[in-house]
Structure 1
Amino acid sequence: MLQAVVAMESLPTSLTTKESKECLTIKRGTRILSEKPFAYVLKSQYRLERCDNCLEAVQKVRKCSNCRYVSYCNRTCQQQAWPLHKHECPFLKRVQPRIVPDAARMLCRLILRLEHGGDLERGYYTEHGSRKFRDLMSHYAEIKNDPKRREHLESLHAVLTDMISDSNSGSSSIVPNITELMSIYGRLITNGFNILDAEMNSIATAIYLGVSITDHSCQPNAVATFEGNELHVHVIEDLPCLDWSKIYISYIDLLNTPEQRRADLREHYYFLCVCSKCIDPQEMHEMTAAVCPNASCDASVNIELAKCQQCDASVTPQLRTAYNDIMAFTQSSLDSMKEVAYLDVCNVCLEKQRGVLHPLNVWHVKTLDAAFEAAINVGKWTDALAFGQQLLPGFGKYHGAWNPLVGLLYMKLGKIQLYERNYKLAVHHLQEAQCILSVTHGHDHRLLVDQLRPLMLQARHEMT
């Protein structure tokens, strides 16, 4: 069975084979690829609340009666998963009650897929263009010379040997030798995707063959979104034709400075990004800007310069000292809140930033993002609305106007405003969300069908 197919629906947002051949203009929002994973693993933290097959959250899960490790939403999903799970089931049973590291289980599944014919499987990104697992870059040399990666792989090898070896004979015949395992591991860490749920939370890890053809850019012209375990790629710009050598998605979080983005890409993917955003010195200055000392000037100020380039207001030593202290305090505070954001800490940061950091300073934007989510978590809707409104310009600037995160921000604002009975603004923000998410997800995605459109209908009904 083909792992990926070019979308062939008769919808205006999909691309037909004929159009591909004639190289017609591709409109923003066109779905250029739909693909099922070659292999995937639900994150262990969700194994008792999500289906191991379809990844849907369920109220009551059905555990595998043998290994008692994985869970399913119904018998149909259990049957669909069995052709692969039957091979890993005894291994998972053997290590109970221990929790298998996600990377180890993913490697186990890749080994099993390759053992049972996966080497011949192709993922198609056009009618004739395809990739096999062995076509993915392994970055073998870089990983071999990367102490952190080698140490990680050694720990995973120990887990796999314990899982897969025959308990009677001590044999570990299906565990590849360390050279082969390193090549599989390399393909996983540099080609793996985090499968995201509707709220953009990472719930699983996967390898997709076809979409691996896409390169990275910090100014992407396409986005990858998910429905269950299926990946969809939509273009977010009008393109003259489908040329996969010119299709770019972002591999990383764009809400970071060029220096941070480049460091992330070098550490995880072993390349130096030279996109226009990363090589533009003005990008770094804007993302780390201070406010202008002149209250009537809204320019962003490079704190290293002597004065504002727009109004010539002087950058005083006091402002420079305050800026450095607040930037250090903000970065330390946000680093301590990676798992859970605390509203009181966010408020302290925002108070210190006022009058010092520019509203589009990326660390101010990150603080607003954390404050917005923290306010939602504790049900402080008025605060959440204020943070969300302030967050919109920064999100649009750094993520790009056609990004799922921007669409979801509009949707969350609309949902809160609906709850607060501000129906006019609710309709406005939900319309903005629909405009963006229809492009990034497609009109038929469950996020729009099951969540956004009902909210829109309710808001419009309440207005009448």
Structure 2
Amino acid sequence: MSVEAGGLVLRAEPYVHVLAQKERGQRCDFCLNRQTELRRCSSCKLLRYCNITCQKSDWSIHKEECRCLQQVSPRIPMDSVRLLFRLIIRHERGDSTRHVDVDPSWRTFSQFQSHSKEIAGDSKRARTFSEMMFTLNKMAGSIFKLPDTSKIFEMFGKMTINSFSICDGEMQPIGVGIYLSPSLLDHKCQPNAVVTFTGKTLEVRALQALPEVSPNNVYISYIDQLAPSSERRRQLEEQYYFTCDCSRCTDEDLDHLMSSFKCPQGGCSGFVYMDNDSVMSSCNECRSSPESSYVSKLKNIGIYSLEQLSKIDEEKKNGSTENIMEICKGCLSKQEALMGPQNINMVRVLDRAFDAAIDLEIWDQALAYGKRTIEPYLHIYPPGSPNVGVQLMKIGKIQLYLQELGDALVSLHKARSILRLTHGKLHPIYKDLVELLDQCAEEKRHNLQALRMS
């Protein structure tokens, strides 16, 4: 079977899934759709559902989980513990060799690789498993008989390697799930397909025409692409135990761009780049080499940037958006003097400033930060990335609000060309985008008509 660009490669429902704790009370624990009114499970009082249909659909697995959650209440187990416990419930029910209703049926959970040897030799993951077993034993108590620890460890390995972060239309994580057939798809940093979600339903769409659809010729990205090859490779090695050697991971020019700094010669628009804290190039334009004092400045701003990014992310967990904005502003004021516009650490700070300004409804600032991310996004993300489409849509929406209608139309049309491929025309975010385009075009026509009549 061949698939055109934007065509549906596969659709799958999860084998098991859980809603992220941070989303509880805002989304249904079964379908994961956002709802204003949710009905709470009367027994565990933890899970919430949008209607009786979702509650009944989840009951086949929640009825075992429910009693166990009551045993540890008011403590709430981590999302990963709940996901593993749901895998145990399905195992005890004999489901490991069965398919799910909506899935290409390429494999069952029993056919997953556990990578037990690698995980046993990974001290961090071995410690995590030990902590999870402590919680599982508390949950199970005397009311649920857990299988042997070796069997749970095998399931833990399968879960660790094969979990999908379930994202909303804007590619923000809202849960985690195990999907059977999609887990067969291999990784490439420049994939030919993309994973998106509608609620808990996973869809894979082709980014280019595929002459044949099979697990051997469809590639997705396991990780965020907004990172240099060294970071991507490290993440893949630590999370999935393989080394990526795709074309993007061997693209030195792209890595140089993400580590670029301004040329020390005044008036020159070129850049130098750093690798492993050492300047490895003369300026790509004037060919001058930076002096040691300038190299020290570059090292210091690199260290400072990482510290500030860590501080911003910590502030996102427990702090205030106002504090995040102040940290971003202070960091950017120092970065702008030395870093190239596509330096990955400056792009990351701009990203966080963009989101903070949106949360604070400082629309002019949000637009200024967002516009500065687009050129780096287009260079750093692979072609057809949904992250670029979502960013353009957010920028276009702000431009529409600020009545910059011509610019809004350009941004929204660019977003549509991407999201039509990655999400499909029936996805809620694509429908929202079409409504924004219609609104923008109508307001522009109205303004032109009013101008002619004046």
TM-score by length of 1: 0.89
Aligned-residue offset at 1:408:
0.8
DSSP 3-state at the match of 2:216:
helix
Q: 1:295 to 1:221 in 2, by over 3 A?
A: farther
CA contact (8 A) 2:332 2:346 kept: yes
**Which of 207, 221, 224 is 2:192 aligned to?**
221
Q: Helix, strand or coil: the match of 2:313?
A: coil
2:97/2:110 contact within 8 Å kept:
no
Closer/same/farther in 2, CA of residues 280 and 455 from structure 1, 3 Å limit: closer
CA distance in 2, matches of 1:187, 1:115: 16
Residue 74 of structure 2 corresponds to residue 97 of structure 1: yes
Answer yes or no: is 1:33 the counterpart of 2:10.
Answer: yes
Matching residue of 2:202: 231
Find runs of 4+ consecutive structure 1 residues off by over 4 angstroms: 123-127, 294-297
Residue 123 of structure 1 contacts residue 130 of structure 1 at CA under 8 Å; is this kept in 2?
Answer: no
Letter in 2 for 1:99: I
Separation in structure 1 between the aligned mates of residue 253 and residue 235 of structure 2, nearest angstrom:
20
CA shift for structure 1 position 380: 1.4
2:87 maps to a residue whose letter is L
Matched, 1:45 2:27: no
Matched ranges for 1:13-412 at <5 A: 20=1, 24=2, 26-122=3-99, 130-166=106-142, 173=145, 175-303=146-274, 304-305=279-280, 307-339=282-314, 340=316, 342-412=324-394
When residues 462 and 133 of structure 1 are mapped into structure 2, their CA distance, relative to the original with a 3 A threshold, is same
C-alpha distance in structure 1 between counterparts of 2:369 and 2:23, whole Å: 30
- Deviation of the 1:165 alpha carbon: 2.7
Residue identity opposite 1:213 in structure 2: L
Distance in 1 (alpha carbons) for counterparts of 2:4 and 2:252:
32
Match of 1:425 among 380, 403, 407: 407
The equivalent residue for 1:453 is 434
| Offset at residue 297 of structure 1 (A) | 4.2
Residue type at the aligned position of 1:43: A
**What is the DSSP-based 3-state SS (H/G/I as helix, E as strand, rest coil) of the residue aligned with 1:119?**
coil
Mapped to 2, the partners of 1:408 and 1:306 lie a distance apart of 35
Q: Distance in 1 between matches of 2:201 and 2:102?
A: 14
Note if contact 1:124-1:131 (Cα within 8 Å) is conserved in structure 2: no
Letter in 1 for 2:434: R
Structure 1, residues 134-155: CA drift from partner, whole Å, max 9, x if none?
2111110011111111111111
Deviation string for 1:290-349 (max 9, x for gaps)?
Answer: 122345543332241462133223322232122111111111100111152612211222
Secondary structure class of the residue paired with 1:454: helix
Please tell me whether the aligned partners of residues 123 and 131 of structure 1 are also in contact (alpha carbons under 8 angstroms). Answer: no
- Give how far 1:183 is off: 0.7
List alignment gaps of at least 5 residues for structure 1: 1-19
- Counterpart for residue 15 of structure 1: none
**Percent identical residues:** 35
Shift of residue 232, structure 1, vs aligned partner: 0.3
CA contact (8 A) 1:292 1:308 kept: yes
| Structure 2, gaps ≥5 residues long | 446-454
Per-residue CA deviation, residues 6-56 of structure 1 (Å, 9 max, x unaligned), is: xxxxxxxxxxxxxx1xxx4x3211110000000001122322222111111
Distance 2:159 2:97 in 1: 17
CA distance in 2, matches of 1:305, 1:150: 39
SS in 2 for 1:85: helix
Take 1:285 and 1:446, find their aligned partners in 2: how far apart are those partners?
Answer: 38
Task: Tell me the SS of whatever aligns to 1:27.
Answer: coil
Equivalent-residue separation in structure 2 for 1:444 and 1:42 (angstroms): 23
Q: TM-score, normalised by structure 2?
A: 0.91
Deviation per CA, 1:78-124: give whole Å up to 9, x if none: 12212221222211222222112211111111111122231221369
CA displacement at 1:237 relative to structure 2:
2.0
CA separation of 1:314/1:186 partners in 2, compared to 1, >3 Å: closer, same or farther?
same
Q: Please show how residues 431-442 of structure 1 align to structure 2 within 5 Å.
A: 431-442=413-424
Task: Tell me the CA shift for residue 194 of structure 1.
Answer: 0.7
In structure 2, what is the Cα distance between the partners aligned to 1:140 and 1:462?
59
SS of residue paired to 2:248: helix
After superposition, the C-alpha distances for 1:410-460 in whole angstroms (9 at most, x for unaligned) are: 1111111111111111111111111111110001111112x2122111111
The answer to whether the Cα contact below 8 Å between 1:195 and 1:205 also exists between their aligned partners in 2 is yes
Partner amino acid for 2:390? L
The answer on whether the counterparts of 2:103 and 2:180 sit within 8 Å (CA) in structure 1 is: no
Tell me, yes or no, if the aligned pair for 2:13 and 2:102 is still in contact at 8 Å: no
Relative to structure 1, the CA distance from residue 207 to residue 104 in structure 2 (aligned partners, 3 Å threshold; closer, same or farther) is same
Larger CA deviation: 205-214 vs 49-58 = 49-58
Deviations 1:151-208 (A, max 9, x none): 11111111111111325xxxx63x1212111110001011000101122221111000
Q: What one-letter code is carried by the residue in structure 1 that aligns with 2:245?
A: V
In the alignment, the residues of structure 1 paired with residue 99 and residue 437 of structure 2 have an alpha-carbon distance, to the nearest angstrom, of 41
CA contact (8 A) 2:119 2:157 kept: yes
Relative to 1, partners in 2 of residues 1:401 and 1:382: Cα closer, same or farther, differing over 3 Å? Answer: farther
Instruction: Give 2:448's aligned residue.
Output: none
Conserved 8 A contact 2:96-2:109: yes
Q: Check conservation: 1:123, 1:208, Cα contact below 8 A.
A: no
Partners of 1:360 and 1:394 within 8 A in 2: yes
> Within 2, Cα distance between the matches of 1:186 and 1:456?
45
